[in-house]
Amino acid sequence: MQKTRDIGKLKEIAKNLRKDILRMLHTAGSGHTGGSLSAIDILATLYFSRMRHSPDPSFSGPRDRFILSKGHGAPALYAVLAESGYFDKKHLMTLRKMNSILSGHPYSPSTPGVEVCTGSLGQGLSIANGMAMALKLNKTDEKVFCMMGDGETQEGQVWEAAMTAAHYKLDNVTAFLDNNGLQIDGVVKDIMGIEPIGDKWRAFGWEVFEIDGHDFGQILDALDKADRTKGKPSLIWAHTVKGKGVSFMENKVGYHGKAPDKDELDRAMAELDAA
Amino acid sequence: MTEVKMKSLRDAYGQALAELGAENENIVVLDSDLSGSTRTSVFAARFPERFFNMGVAEQDMISTAAGLAAAGKIPFASTFAVFASGRAWDQVRQSVCMGRMNVKIVASHGGITVGEDGPTHQALEDIALMRVMPNISVIVPADAHETAAAVRAVAGIDGPFYIRTARDKFPVLLPEDFSFTPGKGTLLREGSDVAIVACGIMVSKALEAAELLSAEGISAAVVNMSTIKPLDEELTLSLAASAGAIVTAEEHSVIGGLGSAVAEVISENDPVPVVRVGMRAAVGSSGKPDELLNKFGMTTEMVVSAARKATGMKKEKAPGRSRTVLSG
Ligand SMILES: Cc1ncc(C[n+]2csc(CCOP(=O)(O)OP(=O)(O)O)c2C)c(N)n1
Ligand SMILES: [Mg+2]
């Protein structure tokens, strides 16, 4: 797919990706709906507007990388990878099934375009840092993007990695915080508050850009600013809505790990079509 | 036994790593504030731009190493064996092993010979913890020369490896130009009544034990089984066939380590007595390495009595049993 900065086009792409996510989760009968929908606008922007990448294994140009640290958002990653041509879209309907190339959480050996294994939360930013260190040694301007959940930042390793990226001045790392306010057991601030989260990242030596994670203009603008940030890593602190795009799923804890049934799928599709 | 030369495994690692660094600029090294102890400091001094001290953050270190590997580097990550295997277990599992990342974990201070630092620092579970994970190979070298050879060998093989070194100096057993092949045990002494399969510091004790046993009329073979995973099954089964009784010896819990690996293969294919020498107490204590090995039964004498027991079991279990010798 051609890269685009056209916001109307990105909206259209994201709408179709949301449909793919809902269809694949419905067919799978299980999986993580809410966090896939909160992340998809950012993933769409990365894969169809910002990252230099190609599904062609012989592609040798500069290649940016993406790590979905919140691995349970795999349906969102699979949707953008299929749309980018890493594998045929028909595989989406095999999600979580026996012998599928699409595991419940990202498993690199079986899925083209998936860089590393994630799912056990908290490890992705460290991996992104390692890639960024290698790219710096290679003296290329390739970049590494990473996405974390807000609940995920309760993991200690996230803060080890936050220190590392600042210490080694990894300005080729841009991390996204999918700040949808919810985790499995409830509201993040009730379970284990993370605020003041922007101050925490700043205190750890990061440049922080606070945005609406569903506003393509703001996502693109923050990515441009992160590009211009030298000598330190950037965190794009994205306020998002869990279940975004489907009214009855939005901000509902219950849709964290629940796939839509037939009725829910039909209603969700109708809503997306009407939007 | 004649006067033996003692050499440090971690020194051998540090030296080999620095040499590799000079030969291959894709070699990068990570440590978690223990570079002086693990000896990655030798590499760090020569190649500072390719050395990453991660601070006291072993989980971050292991996942970062996976990222470096994903982008084409050959990372060696070092810390103490307790931290590499215990603190960062989930990172080794998911970030490194599942995706078969080209990460080499070389952990020092394995076993009870850590000594004075005491129970919390004595890794007696690391072989078990590492062995159970997917795709990773586990190597416990017997001496400094084997350490250097193993480090060189794994640098050239794609995929995850765990190599355990030690704080203490170990007797030198193998020639300096020893060529190491992962997955292959080395027969150090022939014997027909019992085979002693050992790794690490226990290999030298196994050789001493074989000497003592021969005075009693027991002929003991000795194998250095430095690769615990994948285990050299062919050699293990040929020993079972030729000796009919096996003793394992390791500086590790008798649960889950070399003894378990050998017993698994033997019991499924050709059941003969297997007697394990290793750590049987719940935890160690502070003390000097030799005092600790004595107190917790990882000694030449223990190997000797295990060999007596194993040969005795063989006679009790199968009087006059004729054994088929494996061909090939
Ligand atoms: C180490 C680890 N512990 C627990 C889990 C189970 N788990 C999966 S998702 C999740 C909540 C994550 O919340 P958040 O990061 O906010 O994700 P999002 O809201 O974006 O879905 C938990 C606890 C896990 N995957 N990994
Ligand atoms: Mg959340």
d(CA B129, CA B164): 12
pTM of the model: 0.97
The amino acid sitting at B176 is E
A159 found inside a domain = yes
The DSSP letter of residue B196 is E
Question: What is the band of B4 on the pLDDT scale with cuts at 50, 70, 90?
Answer: confident
Mean pLDDT of B207-229: 98
**What does DSSP say about strands B220-224 and B186-189: parallel, antiparallel, or unpaired?**
antiparallel
Q: Give the pLDDT mean for B127-138.
A: 98
User: Is the per-residue pLDDT at A194 higher than 90?
Assistant: yes
Residue A1 counted as domain residue: no
Q: Residue A25 has what pLDDT?
A: 98
Residues A256/A258/A264/A270 CA torsion (nearest 10 deg)? 50
The dihedrals phi and psi of A92, each to the nearest 5 degrees, come to -55, -35
Flag whether A2 is in a domain.
no
For residue A154, name the pLDDT band (cuts at 50, 70, 90). Answer: very high
The answer as to CATH 3.40.50.920 being correct for domain B186-317 is yes
Residues of B with Cβ-Cβ distance to A107 under 8 angstroms: 98-99
The pair of three-digit structure tokens given for residue B301, joined into one six-digit string: 């004498």
pLDDT at A275: 86
The per-residue pLDDT for B87 is 98
- How much of chain B exceeds pLDDT 90, in percent? 94
3-state secondary structure of B176: coil
Interface of A to B at Cβ within 8 Å reads: 65, 107-109, 115-120, 122-124, 126-135, 137-138, 144, 156-157, 160-161, 163-164, 167-168
Average pLDDT of span B298-321: 86
pLDDT of residue B248: 99
Q: Which two tokens stand for residue B122?
A: 């004595």
Residue A92 φ/ψ region, left for φ over 0, alpha for ψ in the -120 to 50 degree band, beta for the rest: alpha
Distance of alpha carbon B196 from alpha carbon B74, whole angstroms: 35
By DSSP bridging, strand B194-198 and strand B246-253 are parallel
Distance from the alpha carbon of residue A205 to the mean position of ligand 1, in angstroms: 25
The span from the CA of A71 to the CA of A49, in Å, is 22
Identify which of B134, B83, B129, B122 has the alpha carbon closest to the alpha carbon of residue B106. B83
* A102 falls within a domain: yes
pLDDT number for residue B326: 46
Residue B1 has pLDDT above 70, yes or no: no
Asked whether residue A24 is domain-assigned, the answer is yes
Domain count, chain A: 1
DSSP A163-198: HHHHHTT-TTEEEEEEE-SB-SSSBHHHHH---SHH
Does residue B162 surpass a pLDDT of 70? Answer: yes
- Mean pLDDT, all residues of chain B: 95
- Closest by CA position to A234, among listed A215, A214, A212, A219: A219
Q: Is the pLDDT of residue B111 over 90?
A: yes
Let me know how many helices (H) and strands (E) chain B has, helices first.
Answer: 13, 14
pLDDT, tens digit, 9 for 90 and up, residues A210-254? 999 999 999 999 999 999 999 999 999 999 999 999 999 999 999
- As a whole number, mean pLDDT of residues B264-271 equals 98
Q: Is residue A132 part of a domain?
A: yes
pLDDT value at B328 more than 60: no
Partner residue facing B67 (CB), from A108, A117, A126: A126
Could you tell me which CATH number the domain at B6-171 has?
3.40.50.970
**pLDDT tens-digit profile of B166-209?**
999 999 999 999 999 999 999 999 999 999 999 999 999 999 99
Supply the pLDDT for residue B2.
Answer: 59
* Residue B234 burial by Cβ neighbours in a 10 Å radius (0-12, 13-18, 19+): middle
**Residue to probe by mutation, ligand 1, list A72, A241, A258, most atoms within 8 Å of CB:** A72
Angle, helix B58-70 to helix A156-167, in steps of 10 degrees = 60
Range of the domain at A57: 7-274
**Helix spans in chain B (H):** 9-23, 35-38, 41-46, 58-70, 81-82, 89-91, 126-131, 144-155, 202-215, 233-243, 258-269, 289-295, 300-317
Q: Do domains B6-171 and B186-317 have the same CATH topology?
A: yes
Tell me if A192 CB under 6 Å of ligand 1: no
Q: Kindly state the percentage of chain B with pLDDT values over 70.
A: 95
Q: What are phi and psi of B32, to 5 degrees?
A: -120, 65
CA dist A268 and B66 (Å) reads: 39
Calculate how close chain B gets to A244, using CA atoms only, in Å.
29
| Residue A217 is assigned to a structural domain of this protein | yes
> ipTM above 0.85?
yes
What pLDDT, on the 0 to 100 scale, is given for residue B318?
A: 57
Residue B73 touches partner A, C-beta closer than 8 Å: yes
- Show me where the domains of chain B are located: 6-171, 186-317
Give the tens place of pLDDT for each residue, A88-135: 999 999 999 999 999 999 999 999 999 999 999 999 999 999 999 999
What's the confidence (pLDDT) of residue B325?
44
- In sequence order, the β-bridge partners of residue A41 are none
Q: What's the mean per-residue pLDDT of chain A? A: 98
pLDDT at B42: 98
* CATH assignment at residue A31: 3.40.50.970
Q: Residue A232 class from Cβ within 10 Å (0-12 exposed, 13-18 middle, 19+ buried)?
A: middle
User: How much is the pLDDT for B102?
Assistant: 98
* Per-residue pLDDT tens over the stretch B223-244: 999 999 999 999 999 999 999 9
Digit-coded pLDDT (tens) for B26-52: 999 999 999 999 999 999 999 999 999
